Amino acid sequence: MRVSSFFALLDKCNVITLAKMTFRELNDRNYFEVNAIHVEILLPDIVALAIPENKPGAIYHIKLVVQITNNTLEPFTMSFDDTFIPEVVNSDGQTLQGVFVIYEQEPTNQSNISQQQNWRLKLRCLFSRLVNFNRRKYPINVNFWLVQPGSKSASHLNGRLFWQSDLLILKLSTKDFSLDFEYFRPRTYYYFNNLQLGNYQLRFIYLNKFSSSYNESDAIDVTNLPQIASSHSTAAFVNFRLIQPVEPNNSAVKVDGIRFETLMPERVLTLPEKKRGIKTCMQLGIHITNNMLEAVRFSFFATIIPQLVGADGQVHLQGYYGNHIKIRLESDFPLVMPGENFTFFLYSLLYWQKRDQFILRIEAGDGGYCIFTDIKAGVYQIRLTYNNKDAMAEIYDRETRNTKLIEGIWMGIVSTPKVEFRLV
């Protein structure tokens, strides 16, 4: 949605309140406990996001996973109506103001979406109508599920980082819409505007529909927020930083003495013929330089995540597939010495599939691969994210024909700037 100013953008939504959240409870643990319900954000200690270019359509898409653990003796009910209130704190310890926004879903009158996306949208709307019909007929709600004692459940929250009228804005969803069949329910978000380069902290306050009297209208009363934080399950703060891409071509970032760069030597590619078996190879890789004083080990076993964005600014849907999972070898975890660099190329192919559709396939490094569908001629942007949350890995040693443990793997999430290329 492009508008002339940030506040004009909010005018197109239903703005509930400008809520200033003033509470802050730091803890060394990676979760808080309220009534034995644990909440944690699944992120490593280092999370560095390259800010997008200050131009229309330049957006960085964020995926967050919040895990709920039930340590009670009874089943715990969760639903897609559960709410996650985000709190963002800057490096000065100041809590940023958040704008609570409701987006009303629009019907399927979008003429500019692809035929495949249109069918997907119609199918989801059909499921939505079936769900609502079954709710009226049966007292069962498919949007509810039970978390058994000792079990865990993950909620997927999406976010966006983008510019609007020279303001850098972070948009975070308050609900999990990943598998929600009720397509036409309003989407709710918090906006944090005028962000700067630097370090931040993020946490979520979890409000459960069945154990909380909180509802959306309570967001109007700012004084309720400290009470909500103290009486509801709350995740511990996780750190993230916003960093500026580095020269010469703004395709790299530096994090704690390590430089990450997206490599794509050929930026103009010809789509292959519409025949089976004919493929076009695409050179795509990540180049890591170790400028630290000690050697650093990296993981390339399913840790490089591609994100493809079309000319319209929309993220192409990505699917992961795996015919087999290969064994971990030491070569998947190279040790990069001080002053040296390492390049990992992701085997990538463009090919034609039935129904006049092109596919982009990018190997994941673990025997699986990512698939992007509905590829056609045009301008695209691709971003690579190094995402590793494990400091140790068990590998197979070919010499001893046994497994062994390697340690000291660099943990963190680092996104590189987008690289633009063209398909002709």
pLDDT-derived band at 110, boundaries 50, 70, 90: very low
Look at residue 25 in the predicted model and tell me its pLDDT.
Answer: 35
* Mean pLDDT of the 326-352 span: 92
Look at residue 373 in the predicted model and tell me its pLDDT.
Answer: 84
pLDDT at 416 over 60: yes
Name the residue with higher pLDDT: 36 or 385. Answer: 385
- Which of 23-27, 135-139, 408-412 has the highest average model confidence (pLDDT)? 408-412
* Mean pLDDT of the 84-109 span: 78
* Mean pLDDT of the 378-396 span: 91
pLDDT-derived band at 62, boundaries 50, 70, 90: confident
Distant-in-sequence, close-in-space partners of 340: CB < 8 Å, separation ≥ 6: 289, 290
Distant-in-sequence, close-in-space partners of 249: CB < 8 Å, separation ≥ 6: none
pLDDT-derived band at 187, boundaries 50, 70, 90: confident
Beta bridge partners of 393: 406
Distant-in-sequence, close-in-space partners of 303: CB < 8 Å, separation ≥ 6: 365, 386, 387, 388
Name the residue with higher pLDDT: 106 or 282. Answer: 282
Least confident of 79-93, 120-134, 250-264, 358-372: 120-134
Token duo for residue 261: 């760069």
* Mean pLDDT of the 150-163 span: 90
Look at residue 122 in the predicted model and tell me its pLDDT.
Answer: 57
CA pair distance 166, 5, nearest whole angstrom: 9
pLDDT at 27 over 50: no
Beta bridge partners of 201: 89, 239
pLDDT-derived band at 112, boundaries 50, 70, 90: very low
Look at residue 104 in the predicted model and tell me its pLDDT.
Answer: 54
pLDDT at 152 over 50: yes
Look at residue 186 in the predicted model and tell me its pLDDT.
Answer: 77
pLDDT-derived band at 142, boundaries 50, 70, 90: low
pLDDT at 241 over 80: yes
Look at residue 126 in the predicted model and tell me its pLDDT.
Answer: 56
| Percent of the chain whose predicted confidence (pLDDT) is above 90 | 28
pLDDT at 379 over 70: yes
Name the residue with higher pLDDT: 187 or 197. Answer: 197
Pairing of strands 238-243, 47-50: parallel
Least confident of 187-191, 262-266, 316-320, 328-332: 316-320
Look at residue 275 in the predicted model and tell me its pLDDT.
Answer: 81
CA pair distance 261, 415, nearest whole angstrom: 9
Averaged confidence pLDDT in the chain = 78
pLDDT at 41 over 90: no
Look at residue 5 in the predicted model and tell me its pLDDT.
Answer: 47
Q: Please check whether residue 86 is in contact with residue 190, taking contact to mean a CB–CB distance below 8 angstroms.
A: yes
Sign of CA dihedral 36, 42, 45, 47: negative
Q: Please check whether residue 206 is in contact with residue 84, taking contact to mean a CB–CB distance below 8 angstroms.
A: yes
* Mean pLDDT of the 23-44 span: 58
Sign of CA dihedral 247, 249, 253, 259: negative
| Percent of the chain whose predicted confidence (pLDDT) is above 70 | 74
